[in-house]
């Protein structure tokens, strides 16, 4: 449960590694870009049941109310998307006739052409009116909108014709290719009571994707059926896809074992993997992307705010041992993560930093603490002027994966005389109260990577950033981040991103542990499944899913 | 000043009753077996940790090992020795249960005797209060309260107190009805007549004579408390790590029932055995004191 | 009789009011209804302040309570976090839980009566001892453990036979079920395991009550009189014995409603049923204050009603009570 919460905001942001790669690779428009399956491998008909963690609250993914993973997964195959990411991070332009074109550089003007074949399931074409309505609402300050990133830089939106539109940017915006995601039909929203915020609460309206909405049995499942108006390849062959809600992740192994769901996407974790490896007829695929697990160190805290304590923690922490215990058993190639900005270590340009912390060095940790005046006490716990070096570790109550990490860390830190006490509270309380308010010392968190590392890093480490839970502030970092955000040059952005990371390793607002592996588990009878570590998730190519012949 | 013979009669009689009850209890085979097993389990949970080669929070290099000579109950995914964890968890579960039983019995006895002894509006008020707490769907309210407590950094002791706050009514009801009938008896009336203080009458004469029903309902509370605490832990609202309780171990082990059955079945069976034994003891006490209440669960 | 019912009803009104205030405070102190909004990076402070004002969060607790209880008395339970009326959510979940609880209660009562009476009639036989032992095991059994064990056994059986005989997820299948017969078999198939779990943990205690009251009746004077009059043994047992021995059980069953609620919370979690229990847990985890408060209020109300029913049934069956 906590995982969906931590993953949620980041998946909203739209895709920089992807964009950067797209810039260099200059991807061509490709009709069969969504996956590799052909109709030949798939039997006609059948049903696929997808085990979904969250039940949608409505379908307007742009609103904060509905911007949860559970909604994204469903609308992925329903609404208009200008671009989606392939598993390798490159973009393909499903909803467009061509890649968006930069018409002018100063000011930046970009032109999009909607695919002439893009049609809503009620038979009307997808037009610039849909785009305009979406834009007007996202930028309307009165509306409940989860993120306006990018849209807030557009000073003018021109509708050239029914299928072509241009946006003029106030300042340069390198990530424009990721705009126009999950756009619902304007005509439907306008005619529905409830409008932008509540108009899609029960029904997403017409679909522009390979599937269309059929039924929502509240509390239980959502059913999608093939959209006859879908003109692109691949075309769905199954009769329906059912999203079966399983909020208790503990029911996943048995549900797969008992064939009550066919496919599930979840965070790969030790116990789940061991339980699933035991189930016959199941395929397990692990992928890593920019998602990562880390410790947040509160810079405003009197104890953890002390650089000596942070450095000692970093030295004492044996991150390799954590990876070896928690991830390596099912993903032998897993490694610790040494970059806080370019968190997808496999992507070109991500350099490891923080060399002094690569291997655990308890002696160095002890030296630093000793020097800073923390002297070992009789019970092994260090103390300074009568105050014990006891740090509270806030964690989500009842989250077993977290508890395992916690125990490992507690063990490692105790060896240098740092005493961790573990304080648990419900996810809602930790993520919406304690973290934003800075009422914690150390906590464990996952950030899901958006493919925009620089934008993410600004939110996470920039002064006053929305995800800056450690309340970190460094003028040099802010300056580097600003430069990186404004450059349109991919190589330069990567260079600056690495510079930003070096600054972070000096100050340690967080300690990255490892890239978080994602699991797609599915019945071997399914074909066409391709895990996708980007924000689009495994459902990106659901049009090509089917049952094997 | 020596007390008149007549007035000392009652306590002595209750002492002999106690001896009689004791004899009956010892003859109750299930109850004795339950007592023995309970003592063993509790003893093991207290002494065992000093003899097991691993601490309950210690991480060994053996990951997800089935039971072996090295690890009698196997290990979990990060190398905890399950036997050490089960011992620790039993200790915590029993501790919580005893705190709950003691506290709620205390509250229950207090309210029950006061209501039964003073009658009138005091009784009406206290009985209404008892009824109110009695109708609460305990698990649901505890969940809400535990949710609230855990946001304020609560620990297991607070959880125990919380559980106790909802379990005393059964004791109060039993004690009240016993006191109501006792206070009409001659030896109590005689005390009233010589002007003994209320506190003295309650403490020296009423409570000792109600010890049977109190013991029986306190025993049943132990089971209720263990079940409630473990249900809370199972639903994710329990004890904080690295500490553990039996409900939590079962919750963690439930997904492993096919891949690593030891993680699910060992803690579950231990939990079951503890509850079963306490129930047997309760049954034995009921027979021994010949109280006519039948058993029930919370 | 009517006067008795009215008297009891009147007594439960202040009780409900006190309970509603307690419930409101309990939840108000535990959750933040705006938690989810605060978590979103794109939501402005003004938007949060506006929402906070709309929900009266800036007012003192007592003012908020009065506003809330007024709404509740007018039948308005408020909106859940996702904008759906709380009442709709509760109604939907209620029908699911009701199916579980009623089915389980019916089966458990039948089982308890049969086992209890047989144990009493054949007291101190092997049957009696095994029934007693089984009863002890089941009412010492933590519900979640029993549910997990049954689930594991059922899946092992499924795997052994190669067919999905028992389902373990949800209260109904996810596929397009058409036709009345299919629907019934689908629902019934999903009910087997959860119902069995609830039956086993509840019937155990009830069978003990039944055994005890049957034993009491067996020794009663009127039974001896009936036998002396030459009424056949079978008829003595059923017509005179059982009929009177059922009275205590009726009330116990009604009073034990809270037990069923407790049980269903756990069972719905294990079997992923979308009933009241799961709804409540989810509402707590998500900090859905309106929903948890309403849930607790309804639950307290239901318990009060069931206790009332128990009293009335008892009064109907046993006229002595009415005048006490």
Residue C167 lies in a domain: yes
- Touching subunits of A (3+ CB pairs, under 8 Å) are B, C
Q: What span, in angstroms and rounded, lies between the C-alpha atoms of B171 and C213?
A: 22
What is the ipTM score, two decimals?
0.85
- Would an 8 Å CB–CB cutoff place C37 in contact with chain B? no
CA distances from B134 to B129, B167, B173, C203, C307 (A): 8, 8, 10, 21, 10
- Asked if A254 lies within 8 A of B63 by C-beta distance, the reply is no
| Residue range A419-438, pLDDT digits in tens | 998 887 777 677 777 887 88
C-alpha torsion B113→B117→B120→B126, nearest 10: -10
Q: How does DSSP assign C200-233, residue by residue?
A: HHHHHHHHHHHHHHHHHHHTSHHHHHHHHTT--H
pLDDT of residue A472: 93
> Given CA atoms A4, C40, A399, C274 in this order, what sign does their dihedral have?
negative
Residues from chain B contacting residue A403 (CB–CB below 8 Å) = 241-242
Kindly state whether B148 is in contact with chain C, defined as any CB-CB distance less than 8 angstroms: yes
Q: Which two tokens stand for residue C142?
A: 């933590």
Q: Is the pLDDT of residue A6 over 60?
A: no
Q: Rounded distance, CA A205 to CA A132, Å?
A: 18
Contacts of A544 (CB under 8 A, 6+ apart): A34, A35, A36, A37, A42, A234, A528, A530
CA distance B242 to chain A (A): 7
Domain residue limits at C273: 90-322
Q: What is the pLDDT of residue C40?
A: 55
Which of C39, C87, C165 to mutate to test binding with chain A, by most A CBs within 10 Å of its CB?
C39
Nearest CB neighbour to B268, from listed C145, C284, C303: C145
| Strand duo A546-548 + A526-527: pairing | antiparallel
Residues of chain B positioned with their CB less than 8 A from the CB of C141: 272, 275
User: Could you tell me how many CB contacts below 8 A there are between chain A and chain C?
Assistant: 137
- In this prediction, residue A29 carries a pLDDT of 41
Question: If pLDDT is split at 50, 70 and 90, which confidence band does A18 have?
Answer: very low
Instruction: Give the sign of the dihedral formed by CA C233, CA C238, CA C244, CA C250.
Output: positive
Total of domains in chain C: 1
pTM recorded for the entire structure: 0.83
Closest Cβ opposite residue A57 in set C82, C169, C278: C82
Q: Which of A277, A395, A397 sits opposite B236 (nearest CB)?
A: A397
Instruction: Please tell me the predicted confidence (pLDDT) of residue C193.
Output: 92
Tokens matching residue C34 = 């705006």
How far does the CA of residue A316 sit from the closest CA of chain B (Å)?
A: 17
Chain B residues 268-287 with CB within 8 Å of chain C? 268, 271-272, 275-276, 278-280, 283
Name the residue among C137, C119, C138, C121 with its Cα closest to residue C129. Answer: C119
Asked, for residue C73, whether it belongs to a domain, the answer is no
Say which residue, C72 or A35, is predicted with more confidence: C72
- Domain CATH number, residue C317: 1.10.3720.10
The predicted structure's pLDDT at residue A475: 95
pLDDT in tens, A91-114: 888 889 989 999 988 888 999 999
State the CB neighbour count (10 A cutoff) for residue A278.
14
- For the stretch A117-137, pLDDT in tens is 999 999 999 999 999 999 999
Alpha carbon distance A407, A424 (integer Å): 13
Mean pLDDT of chain A: 85
Cα C149 from Cα B266, distance rounded (Å): 12
Taking CA atoms, A39 is separated from A77, A104, A237, A238, in Å, by 18, 42, 7, 11
pLDDT at A349 over 80: yes
Residues C290 and A216: their CA atoms lie apart, in Å, by 23
Point out the residues of chain B with pLDDT beneath 70: 1-15, 150-155, 290-298
Of B132, B250, B258, Cβ closest to residue C144: B250
Question: 3-state SS of chain C: helix, strand, coil percent to 5?
Answer: 80, 0, 20
| Residue (of A456, A532, A524, A470) closest to A13 by Cα position | A456
Longest dimension (CA), chain B: 74
Average pLDDT for consecutive 10-residue bins of chain C (324 residues)?
80 81 79 60 61 69 84 84 84 88 90 90 88 90 92 89 81 68 81 92 87 83 80 77 77 74 85 88 82 87 78 70 49
Contact A477, A461 (CB under 8 A): yes
Beta bridge partners of B214: none
Residue A513 has a pLDDT of: 94
Alpha helices in A372-489 (DSSP H): 400-414, 427-429, 435-437, 453-461, 475-486
C37, C176, C286 ranked by CB distance to A64: nearest: C37
Query: Into which CATH architecture does domain B5-294 fall?
Result: Orthogonal Bundle (1.10)
Residue of A nearest to C154 (CA): A258
Is residue C257 assigned to a domain? yes
Which of A250, A329, A425 minimises the CB distance to B254?
Answer: A250
Cβ contact C168–A244 (<8 Å) = no
Closest chain A residue by Cα to residue B253: A271
Contacts of B268 in chain C (CB under 8 A): 142, 145, 148-149
Which residues in chain A have their CB less than 8 angstroms from residue C92's CB? 218-219
What pLDDT score does C229 carry? 82
More confident residue, A11 or A327: A327
Q: Provide Rg for chain A, Cα atoms.
A: 24
What are the DSSP E strand ranges found in chain C? Answer: none
C-alpha distances in Å from residue A461, one per residue of A393, A432, A457, A464, B138: 20, 18, 6, 8, 45
User: Is residue A349 within 8 Å of A21, Cβ to Cβ?
Assistant: no
Tell me whether residues A254 and B255 touch, CB distance under 8 A: yes
Distance from CA of B169 to the nearest CA of A (A): 30
Per-residue pLDDT reduced to its tens digit, A483-500: 888 777 788 989 999 999
pLDDT value for C30:
65
Q: Is residue C14 part of a domain?
A: no
Tell me which H or E stretch contains A159.
strand A154-159
Is residue C84 domain-resident? no
Touching subunits for chain B (3+ Cβ pairs under 8 A): A, C
Long-range CB contacts for residues C3-8, cutoff 8 Å, separation at least 24: C4/C312, C4/C315, C4/C322, C5/C308, C5/C312, C8/C308, C8/C311, C8/C312
**Low-confidence winner among A31-40, A81-90, A114-123 (lowest mean pLDDT):** A31-40
Query: Can you tell me the distance from the alpha carbon of C288 to that of A38, in angstroms, rounded to the nearest whole number?
Result: 45
Question: Could you say which of B150, B242, B255 has the minimum Cβ distance to residue A271?
Answer: B255
Run of H or E residues at A241: strand A240-245
pLDDT band for position A295 (cuts 50, 70, 90): very high
∠ CA C122-C126-C131, nearest 5°, is 80
Confirm or reject CATH 3.30.1360.20 for domain A291-515, answering yes or no: no
C203 exposed, middle or buried (CB, 10 Å; 0-12, 13-18, 19+)?
buried
Q: Mean per-residue pLDDT for A387-400? A: 83
| Residues C202, C103: Cα–Cα separation, whole Å | 12
User: Is C318 among the domain residues?
Assistant: yes
A141 C-beta neighbours (distance < 10 Å), count: 10
Q: How many CB pairs under 8 A join A and B?
A: 84
């Amino acid at each position: 449960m906590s995982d969906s919460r931590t993953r949620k905001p980041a998946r909203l942001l739209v895709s920089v590694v992807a964009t950067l790669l797209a810039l260099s690779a200059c991807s061509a428009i490709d009709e069969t870009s969504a996956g590799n399956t052909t109709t030949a491998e798939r039997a006609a008909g059948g049903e696929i049941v997808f085990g979904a963690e969250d039940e949608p609250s409505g379908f307007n993914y742009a609103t904060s109310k509905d911007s949860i993973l559970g909604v994204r997964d469903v609308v992925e195959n329903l609404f208009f998307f200008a671009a989606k990411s392939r598993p390798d991070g490159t973009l393909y332009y499903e909803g467009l006739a061509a890649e968006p074109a930069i018409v002018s550089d100063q000011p930046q003007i970009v032109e999009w052409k909607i695919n002439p074949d893009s049609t809503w399931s009620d038979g009307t074409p997808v037009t610039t009116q849909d785009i305009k309505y979406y834009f007007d609402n996202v930028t309307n300050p009165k509306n409940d909108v989860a993120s306006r990133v990018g849209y807030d830089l557009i000073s003018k939106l021109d509708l050239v014709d029914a299928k072509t539109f241009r946006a003029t940017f106030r300042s340069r915006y390198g990530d424009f290719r990721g705009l126009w995601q999950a756009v619902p039909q304007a005509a439907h929203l306008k005619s529905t009571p409830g409008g932008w915020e509540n108009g899609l609460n029960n029904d997403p309206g017409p679909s522009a994707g390979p599937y269309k909405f059929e039924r929502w049995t509240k509390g239980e499942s959502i059913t999608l059926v093939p959209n006859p108006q879908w003109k692109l390849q691949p075309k769905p062959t199954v009769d329906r896809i059912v999203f079966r809600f399983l909020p208790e992740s503990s029911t996943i192994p048995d549900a797969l074992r008992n064939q009550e769901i066919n496919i599930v996407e979840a965070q790969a974790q030790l116990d789940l993997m061991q339980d699933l490896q035991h189930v016959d007829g199941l395929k397990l695929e692990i992928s890593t992307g920019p998602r990562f697990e880390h410790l947040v160190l509160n810079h405003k805290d009197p104890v953890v705010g002390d650089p000596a304590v942070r450095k000692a923690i970093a030295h004492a922490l044996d991150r390799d041992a954590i990876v070896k215990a928690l991830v390596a058993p099912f993903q032998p190639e897993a490694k610790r993560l040494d970059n806080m900005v370019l968190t997808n270590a496999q992507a070109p340009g991500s350099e490891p930093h923080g060399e002094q912390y690569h291997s655990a060095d308890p002696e160095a940790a002890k030296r630093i603490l000793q020097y800073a005046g923390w002297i070992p006490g009789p019970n092994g716990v260090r103390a300074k002027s009568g105050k014990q070096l006891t740090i509270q570790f806030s964690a989500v109550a009842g989250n077993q994966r977290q508890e395992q990490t916690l125990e490992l860390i507690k063990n490692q830190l105790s060896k240098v005389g740092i005493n961790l006490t573990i304080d648990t509270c419900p996810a809602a309380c930790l993520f919406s109260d304690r973290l934003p308010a800075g009422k914690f010392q150390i906590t464990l968190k996952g950030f899901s990577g958006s493919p925009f590392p620089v934008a993410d890093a600004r939110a996470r480490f920039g002064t006053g950033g929305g995800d800056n839970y450690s309340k970190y502030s460094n003028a040099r970092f802010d300056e580097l981040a600003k430069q990186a955000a404004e450059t349109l040059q991919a190589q330069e952005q990567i260079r600056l991103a690495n510079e930003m990371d070096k600054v972070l390793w000096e100050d340690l607002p967080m300690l990255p542990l490892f890239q978080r592996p994602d699991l797609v588990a599915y019945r071997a009878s399914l074909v066409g499944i391709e895990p996708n570590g980007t924000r689009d998730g495994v459902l990106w190519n659901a049009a090509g899913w089917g049952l094997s012949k | 000043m020596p007390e008149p013979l007549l007035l000392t009669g009652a306590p002595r009689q209750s002492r002999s009753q106690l001896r009689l009850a004791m004899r009956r209890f010892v003859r109750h085979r299930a109850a004795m077996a339950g007592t023995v097993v309970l003592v063993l389990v509790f003893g093991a949970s207290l002494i065992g940790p000093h003899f097991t080669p691993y601490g309950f929070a210690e991480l060994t290099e053996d990951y997800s090992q089935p039971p072996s000579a090295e690890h009698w109950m196997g290990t979990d995914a990060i190398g905890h020795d399950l036997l050490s964890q089960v011992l620790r968890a039993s200790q915590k579960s029993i501790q919580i249960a005893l705190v709950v039983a003691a506290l709620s019995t205390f509250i229950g006895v207090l309210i029950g005797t006061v209501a039964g002894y003073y009658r009138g509006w005091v009784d009406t008020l206290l009985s209404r209060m008892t009824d109110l707490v009695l109708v609460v769907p305990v698990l649901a309210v505890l969940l809400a309260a535990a949710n609230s407590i855990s946001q304020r950094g609560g620990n297991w002791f607070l959880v125990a107190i919380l559980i106790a706050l909802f379990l005393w009514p059964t004791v109060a009801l039993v004690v009240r009805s016993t006191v109501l009938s006792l206070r009409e008896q001659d030896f109590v009336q005689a005390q009233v007549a010589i002007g003994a203080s209320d506190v003295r009458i309650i403490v020296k004469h009423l409570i000792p004579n109600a010890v049977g029903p109190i013991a029986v309902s306190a025993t049943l509370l132990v089971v209720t408390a263990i079940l409630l605490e473990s249900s809370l832990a199972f639903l994710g609202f329990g004890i904080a790590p690295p500490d553990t309780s039996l409900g939590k171990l079962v919750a963690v082990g439930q997904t492993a029932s096919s891949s690593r059955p030891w993680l699910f079945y060992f803690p579950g069976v231990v939990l079951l055995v503890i509850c079963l034994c306490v129930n047997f003891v309760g049954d034995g006490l009921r027979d021994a004191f010949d109280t006519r209440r039948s058993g029930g669960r919370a | 009789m009517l006067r008795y019912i009215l008297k009891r009803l009147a007594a439960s009104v202040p009780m409900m009011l006190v309970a509603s205030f307690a419930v409101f405070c309990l939840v108000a102190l535990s959750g933040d209804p705006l938690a989810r909004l605060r978590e979103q990076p794109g939501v402005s402070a003004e938007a949060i302040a506006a929402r906070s004002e709309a929900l009266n969060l800036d007012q003192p607790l007592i003012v908020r309570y009065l506003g809330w209880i007024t709404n509740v008395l007018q039948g308005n339970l408020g909106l859940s976090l996702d904008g759906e009326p709380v009442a709709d959510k509760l109604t939907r979940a209620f029908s699911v839980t009701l199916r579980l609880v009623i089915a389980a209660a019916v089966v458990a009562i039948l089982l308890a009566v049969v086992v209890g009476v047989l144990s009493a009639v054949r007291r101190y036989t092997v049957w009696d001892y095994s029934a007693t032992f089984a009863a002890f095991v089941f009412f010492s059994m933590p519900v979640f453990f029993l549910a997990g064990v049954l689930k594991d056994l059922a899946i092992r059986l499924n795997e052994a036979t190669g067919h999905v005989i028992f389902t373990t997820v949800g209260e109904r299948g996810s596929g397009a079920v058409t036709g009345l017969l299919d629907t019934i078999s689908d629902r019934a198939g999903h009910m087997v395991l959860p119902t069995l779990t609830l039956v086993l943990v509840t019937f155990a205690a009830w069978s003990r009550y039944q055994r005890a009251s049957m034993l009491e009746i067996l020794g009663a004077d009127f039974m001896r009189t009936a036998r002396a009059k030459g009424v056949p043994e079978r008829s003595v047992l059923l017509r005179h014995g059982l009929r009177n021995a059922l009275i205590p059980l009726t009330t116990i069953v009604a009073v034990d409603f809270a037990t069923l609620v407790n049980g269903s919370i756990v069972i719905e979690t294990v079997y992923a049923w979308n009933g009241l229990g799961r709804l409540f847990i989810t509402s707590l985890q998500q900090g859905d204050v309106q929903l948890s408060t309403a849930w607790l209020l309804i639950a307290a109300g239901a318990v009060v009603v069931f206790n009332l029913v128990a009293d009335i049934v008892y009064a109907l069956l046993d006229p002595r009570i009415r005048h006490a």
